[in-house]
Amino acid sequence: MSRIAVYPGSFDPLTRGHLDIIQRASKLFDQVVVAVSNNATKKHVFSVSERLEIVEEATRPLPNVDVDTISGLLVDYLKTKKSKILIRGLRVVSDMDYEFQLASFNRRLYKDVETVFLMPDDQYTYLASSMVREIARLGAGTEQFVTPFVARKLKLKFSAKK
């Protein structure tokens, strides 16, 4: 039986921390599905199609990683993918409270789900997409936080808004 793990998120934008989690998960599971959320209530910098393109570009070297979109209830998506494994990244201790609540809710909705928490490399523990968006919006370089492809996309996105 194949072990399929799902790593959901908005990935707006995908950071080096996200990519580190994806790489780690790809070594632990037979297949990893990076599920890009399609939440219309959130205001994203990148559209769903742009975020899909970004994640696909970054994960191309990882043969057991697929990229998909998700809307609706996460546990329903897990069932459609025949997965019982949910990947969540933990950067700092303050993430744990929210993630623990989320894991508990998911287990109540789908008793077979197991949430696996992965920590990124130490150099990415402070990294958040919201911070990357803000420094990009202010015109600073983002290359140390995101892949070169994402850095170019951010630069184009924010230079077009001026």
Catalytic residue among 81, 129, 133, 153: 129
CATH number assigned to the domain comprising residue 98:
3.40.50.620
Tell me, yes or no, whether 97 lies in a domain.
yes
pLDDT, residue 43, reads: 85
pLDDT, residue 161, reads: 64
**Closest by alpha carbon to 61, among 152, 149, 154?**
149
**82 within 8 A of 4, measured Cβ to Cβ:** yes
Catalytic residue among 79, 91, 155, 157: 91
Which parts of the chain register pLDDT below 50? none
**57 within 8 A of 42, measured Cβ to Cβ:** no
Count of domains observed in the chain: 1
Tell me, yes or no, whether 158 lies in a domain.
no
Q: Any catalytic annotation for residue 71? A: no
Task: Tell me the H-state helices in 29-147.
Answer: 48-59, 74-80, 93-109, 129-137
Count of other CB atoms within 10 angstroms of residue 127: 19
Tell me, yes or no, whether 161 lies in a domain.
no
**117 within 8 A of 92, measured Cβ to Cβ:** no
As a whole number of angstroms, the distance between CA 160 and CA 82 comes to 41
- The identity of residue 11, as a single letter, is F
Tell me, yes or no, whether 105 lies in a domain.
yes
pLDDT, residue 41, reads: 78
Catalytic residue among 18, 51, 81, 153: 18
Let me know how long the chain is. Answer: 162
List the domain range (segments joined by +) for residue 14. 4-125
Catalytic residue among 42, 111, 161, 162: 42
pLDDT, residue 109, reads: 96
Q: Any catalytic annotation for residue 44? A: no
